[in-house]
Amino acid sequence: AQSVTQPDIHITVSEGASLELRCNYSYGATPYLFWYVQSPGQGLQLLLKYFSGDTLVQGIKGFEAEFKRSQSSFNLRKPSVHWSDAAEYFCAAIEAGNMLTFGGGTRLMVKP
């Protein structure tokens, strides 16, 4: 069955430190991949997406993600985290003709 897995439920980093959030997918073929962010009490906002081509994708708010076919991964990174990045992050995937499937989410906490 198609699935998206985010192995880390919670991550805490210090402000200014680098960040990597993990995402693995299980699909028959390479799906389209997304990262969304959800601030407290808000809906989901699209950070970035990967359809094809360059495996390093740039997004909003200084985030980037790297697609690795050999590892079925699409990890989200940021070189220097700001306190305002504290939120929940969702990886999602979709194949043409199907529905968007979300991972379980990773809650990011930022220490001052």
Partner 1 sequence: NAGVTQTPKFRILKIGQSMTLQCTQDMNHNYMYWYRQDPGMGLKLIYYSVGAGITDKGEVPNGYNVSRSTTEDFPLRLELAAPSQTSVYFCASSYVDYGIQGTGYTFGSGTRLTVV
Q: Does 1 bind partner 1 (CB under 8 A)?
A: no
Among 71, 80, 84, 98, the residue binding partner 1 under the rule CB under 8 A is 98
Among 25, 27, 34, 50, the residue binding partner 1 under the rule CB under 8 A is 34
**Residue type for position 62:** G
Q: Does 86 bind partner 1 (CB under 8 A)?
A: no
End-to-end CA distance of the chain: 41
Across 16-105, the runs of DSSP E, i.e. the strands, are 19-21, 24-26, 32-38, 44-50, 56-58, 64-68, 73-78, 87-94, 101-102
Question: By the criterion CB under 8 A, which residues form the site for partner 1?
Answer: 4, 6, 9, 32, 34, 41-46, 49, 51, 90, 94, 96-100, 102-105
